[in-house]
Amino acid sequence: MHCEGVEDAAFERLPALPRLRWVGLSGTSAGLRALDWMAKCPELNFLSIDSTTVNTSDLGRLSRSKYLDTLKLSGTQIDDEWAFLQSLPMLRDVVVWGKTLPPSLERLAEYPQLQTLELESLQELDPETLNTIKQSNPSLRILLGGFGAWSVAGDDPMVPLITRLAER
């Protein structure tokens, strides 16, 4: 469900949709009230908040969301040095939109539950930062680029898995 032009108050109806799994709030006026309603959607697994007034320090409101495993946001919304990941241990995939490198990427090393980090619009990553992250979470797949031109930063943790499958 893409919610362009929807105001905060309208989100109170969403928990009545028990099978709602995908919500795109991008570019809406969604704020904290919308997050409170999102937290009541029992099967929500994808949430896009890029270009909203919501910051990552607000995401603790979603800590009871059992199935939220993918989050899309703008790099400028990261205002807590990735600490929001601590309150969302079920989050596996984070998509960061924007041409500005998100702050404190090396802090991602503290969150081994992450499986994929997509840095849309970025073409390269500092080797030292990449090394720090990969040492603590070697299975984290970091994708750079977007719009059909993705590249993997560093070693792709999917290659050994695909190789093993192909050998069967």
Q: Which pair of tokens denotes residue 54?
A: 């919501």
105 backbone dihedrals φ, ψ, rounded to 5°: -55, -30
How far is residue 7 CA from its own chain's centroid? 23
Element spanning 108, H or E:
none
- What is the C-alpha to C-alpha distance for residues 44 and 38, in angstroms, rounded to an integer? 8
- What is the C-alpha to C-alpha distance for residues 38 and 68, in angstroms, rounded to an integer? 10
The pLDDT of residue 5: 56
When pLDDT is averaged across residues 92-110 and rounded to a whole number, the result is 87
* DSSP string over 32-65: HHHHHHHTT-TT--EEE-TTSS--GGGGGGGTT-
pLDDT in tens, 31-88: 898 899 889 998 999 999 998 899 999 999 999 999 999 999 998 899 999 999 999 9
Please tell me the pTM assigned to this model.
Answer: 0.88
